[in-house]
Amino acid sequence: MPSADASPPSLAACRVHKFGGSSLADAALYRAAAALVAADAGPRIAVVSAMQGVTDALIALIAAARAGQDWRPGWEALRRRHLDAAQALDGDGRHWLAAALEEEFAELQASLGTLRDADPDAAAGLPGLGEVWSSRLMQSALGGEAAGWRRLDAREVLVVHPGEMGMAVDWDASRARLAAWRARHGSGDAVVTGFVARDARGRAVTLGRNGSDYSAAIFARLFEAEALTIWTDVDGVLSADPRLVPDAVCLPALSYAEACELAYFGAKVLHPQTLAPVQERGIPLWIRNTRRPQQPGTRVGPAPRAHARQREPGAPVKGLSLVRDLAIVELVGNGLVGVPGAAERLFGALRGAGVSVTMISQGSSEHSICCVVRAGHAARARDAAEAAFAEAIADGQAQGVSLTPGIAVLAAVGDGMVGTPGVAARLLGGLAQARVNVRAIAQGAGERNISVAVAEGDATRALRAAHAAFWLSPQTLSVGVIGPGQVGRALLAQLSAALPTLRERSGLDLRLRALANSRAMFLDERGVEPGDAVARLDGAAAQPVDLGRFAAHVRGEHLPHALIVDCSASAGVAAHYPRWLAQGIHVVTPNKHAGSGDWALYAAIQQASRAGGGRFRYEATVGAGLPVMLTLRNLLDTGDELIGIDGLLSGTLAWLFNRYDGTAPFSRLVREAMALGYTEPDPRDDLSGLDVARKLVILAREAGRALSLEDVDVENLVPAPLRAVSREEFLARLEELDAPMQARYRAAAAEGLRLRHLARLDADGARVGVVALPAEHACCHTRLTDNLVQFRTRRYADNPLVVQGPGAGPEVTAAGVFGDVLAIAQSLAAPCLPPPAPPEARA
């Protein structure tokens, strides 16, 4: 037998595989796990947890036995579950599996019968029996000893003792025992029980919760393994908790330091203790999914060298974690400034009170020190601090100790943060955009962790905002569309065609996550293809429209930006704009009600946009796809002075007066325009001039004039007797428009002028109607349904600036809306870039 300090013979390319309880819930999963191990090249070590739920069941049995309650039904359920699995795995009894389990369950039965009056330590090893039974099931699934698989009960080898951080390994004793075991059983494949061990006195103990992972790391080190794979029920270590962040991604690789930080701050896949044994020997650790073995998982290993890290693509932050149920204990005092030992006295008091500190923050002024502690320890921490500084508080040198409950800590972790400018700014900027107030912040000199304390109620929002800041494109927008009519459908078609190119070339990620009409809406968490969106309103996922819920969904906290496109013509929808903008939701619309309606609503929209950060774009309300508003804004923003505007702002009326030359009755042209689809269903909506007046009001307000619709002198081309009659009667009497229009045409022609329907804004006011213009006027040189806007400014006084082109139709209007969407997306913040590579790396 080898001596205690002898090293066991090396296992060539030994690989350790560990399976958790969720991967071993039944016989079928044991077979699947065995297939994963068998697919690897040997030698192989399989470390197993108990079947899912067994450890909890054993703890409940022990508690019932100690309390004198009836534990037998629970015991029988456990026995039957394992025997059923044995029957499925070893039906012919070749491995004597059922017999071995029966014997061990009989021993458990005897132990439970004596627990009520037994020493408290008598049951210390019983919670680990699930791993013992599980190792037998796995050995059988792998083919048993006939296939070369030995079974190693860790209680024969692993020696541990209690330490400050939990159970610590006696490495010398454990190596010696493993050498002895291998001398007896050989150096081939083995199934090892996780979670269980013995102390120095030979008593069976367990390693605590997550102890099976720790066992796997211990045995990877003892066997000098080439790699350790922990098989679980997730694809790897995720960038954040997917239950809170739907866009969480699986991280391909982590350094040991990154994994430790994430594990400490609550990442459930890894326990901090698990990493220590493999880290010391540089053994890579993989996290992989038993149910999705085709996924590569996450590799945890040594950190890359500095120059390699700087070339590494992706976000500087690798993961985000939340620790909840915390409190802030803060010591404040003017007398603390410059006084040596104040921090030592505070932390000594907390240590004496048995309080662990999660986070520390102190300003350079030394005026205050704050500690974040577990909520259950907060009162004890405050009392200990007050006692330690009682004299200073009594003398007025310290103002006291305050306690703030309801705190969570968000930790951002990543080796890529080291030496990367702007990481903290990016994190805090994301939190600010989500309206999350930071109560305290801490960053170590190593730069791989930034921790911020926030209110518990803001924790999820903070996590989602931080994740968006680092993992999503800065130009990712959550989009909701209201009003899938002609313009809305055209917009969806344009989005569907353009999105692949925008994502590839510009990094622009527009996610259509909601669609609504006047009756129904559908909300999709991850986004829907725009081409399929309209059909969803008629599907099972549709629900009654609720614009409050619609906006809340679009504003999803896990996405950095939100945008609502209102393609309706509803004044009711427009009334929601101030609220949406105040919430930071951008609004794009061709709906004229907001820009030309009640002045109070318009003022509220502008104020909300300035205060809330949501941008309001409404280019398509005036010239459809023409850059009318953009041109006006550029003129005014560069210091030009507006003198006047002349505009053909109706495609229908432009077509009518381009065609009207006195040879054909005006009524005939109106009927022809109806047949071509240029007019509204009731042509009076075009002929009234109100739509043109609304556009003129929008332009005037954009120019800084407090103009309302009632301030515009509007000529209605519909004779007064025809304005209130039915549509059918109006169309029957349409010829009544001819004589007045013919008279006006002749009068203009006699002076060499041409009739045009014009919107005019100047120092004398705002007017809409038919005017006679000289032939050289720009409005006399348009084609068909062209819109035209002529700006006369101080710079363009003698030769006005003209914007001309198609200004009507769903396609061009949708293009104008799409242009506003892109303008907002392209104005969003640029990403935080990694530092440049050093000269040797660039070479």
How sure is the predictor about 345, in pLDDT bands with cuts at 50, 70 and 90? confident
Please tell me the predicted confidence (pLDDT) of residue 339: 67
pLDDT at 376 over 90: yes
- Of 18, 318, 592, 695, the active-site residue reads 695
* Mean pLDDT value across residues 731-739: 95
Report the distance separating Cα 83 and Cα 101, nearest Å: 7
Residues 6+ away with beta carbon under 8 Å from 329: 370, 371, 372, 373, 378, 381, 382, 385, 401, 402, 403
User: For 21-76, what is each residue's pLDDT tens digit?
Assistant: 999 999 999 999 999 999 988 799 999 999 999 999 999 999 999 999 999 999 99
**pLDDT value at 307 more than 50:** no
Distance (Å, whole) CA 122 – CA 559: 53
Range with the largest mean pLDDT of 458-467, 527-536, 692-701: 692-701
| Predicted local distance difference test score (pLDDT) of residue 559 | 79
What's the whole-number mean pLDDT along residues 684-691? Answer: 95
Q: What is the pLDDT at residue 835?
A: 36
Q: What is the pTM of this model?
A: 0.70
Is residue 168 pLDDT above 80, yes or no? Answer: yes
Show the tokens assigned to 550.
């619609």
CA neighbours within 13 Å on the CB side: how many for 418? 17
CATH no., domain 628-807: 3.30.360.10
Q: What percent of the chain has pLDDT over 90?
A: 62
Q: Is the pLDDT of residue 831 over 60?
A: no
Instruction: Give the number of other CB atoms < 10 A from CB of residue 564.
Output: 27
Residue 829 has pLDDT above 70, yes or no: no
What's the whole-number mean pLDDT along residues 662-690?
93
User: Hey, what CATH class is 15-233 in?
Assistant: alpha beta
CATH number of 319-471: 3.30.2130.10
User: Within 13 Å of residue 336, how many CA atoms lie on the same side as its CB?
Assistant: 25
Q: What is the pLDDT of residue 434?
A: 78
Give the bridge partners for 587, in sequence order: 564, 616
SS3 track for 752-769: CEEEEEEEEEECCEEEEE
b/e sequence 464-478, b meaning 16+ C-beta within 10 Å = bbbbbbbbbbbbbbb
- In DSSP terms, 168 is beta-bridged to 161
pLDDT level of residue 84 (50, 70, 90 thresholds):
very high
> 235-270: per-residue pLDDT in tens?
988 888 888 887 788 889 988 888 887 876 655 667
- The sign of the dihedral angle between the CA atoms of 549, 466, 504, 234 is negative
**359-368: per-residue pLDDT in tens?**
888 765 557 8
What pLDDT was estimated at residue 648? 95
426 has pLDDT over 60: yes
List the beta bridge partners of residue 802. 790
Query: Closest by alpha carbon to 256, among 306, 309, 304, 301?
Result: 301
Three state DSSP letters for 112-142:
HHCHHHCCHHHHCCHHHHHHHHHHHHHHHHC
- The residues, ordered by sequence, that sit 6+ positions from 395 with a Cβ below 8 Å of its Cβ are 335
- Mean pLDDT, the chain, integer: 88
End-to-end CA distance of the chain: 57
CB atoms within 10 A of CB 449: 23
Q: Please tell me the predicted confidence (pLDDT) of residue 65.
A: 92
Q: Coil, helix or strand for 407?
A: strand
- Please return the burial class of 776, using the count of CB atoms within 10 Å of its CB with bins 0-12, 13-18 and 19+: exposed
Active-site annotation holds for 695: yes
pLDDT of residue 164: 67
- What would the pLDDT profile of 741-795 be if each residue is shown by its tens digit? 999 999 999 999 999 999 999 999 999 999 999 999 999 998 888 999 999 999 9
| Contact by Cβ (8 Å): 44, 14 | yes
Beta strands in 525-568 (DSSP E): 543-544, 561-566
pLDDT digits (tens, 9 = 90+) for 556-569: 877 778 999 999 98
CA distance 660 to 225: 91
What pLDDT shows up at residue 41? 81
What's the mean pLDDT in 211-216?
Answer: 90
Q: Reply yes or no on domain 476-617 having CATH 3.40.50.720.
A: yes
CA 244, 250, 251 angle in degrees (round to 5)? Answer: 120
In order of 16, 673, 751, 802, the CA distances from 745 in angstroms are 94, 19, 10, 26
Q: What is the pLDDT of residue 335?
A: 64
118 pLDDT exceeds 80?
no
Q: Give me the residues paired with residue 451 across strands.
A: 411, 442
Query: How confident is the model over 436-490, as pLDDT tens digits?
Result: 899 999 887 667 889 999 999 999 888 988 888 887 766 788 999 999 999 999 9
For the cut 70, the answer to whether the pLDDT of residue 308 exceeds it is: no
3-class secondary structure, 53: coil
Contact (Cβ atoms closer than 8 angstroms) between residue 565 and residue 588: yes
* pLDDT tens for each residue of 2-26: 333 334 444 456 899 999 999 999 9
Name the percent of the chain lying above pLDDT 70: 92
Q: What is the pLDDT of residue 364?
A: 59
Q: Which of 138, 227, 151, 216 is nearest to 188 (CA)?
A: 151
Domain range list for the chain: 15-233, 319-471, 476-617, 628-807
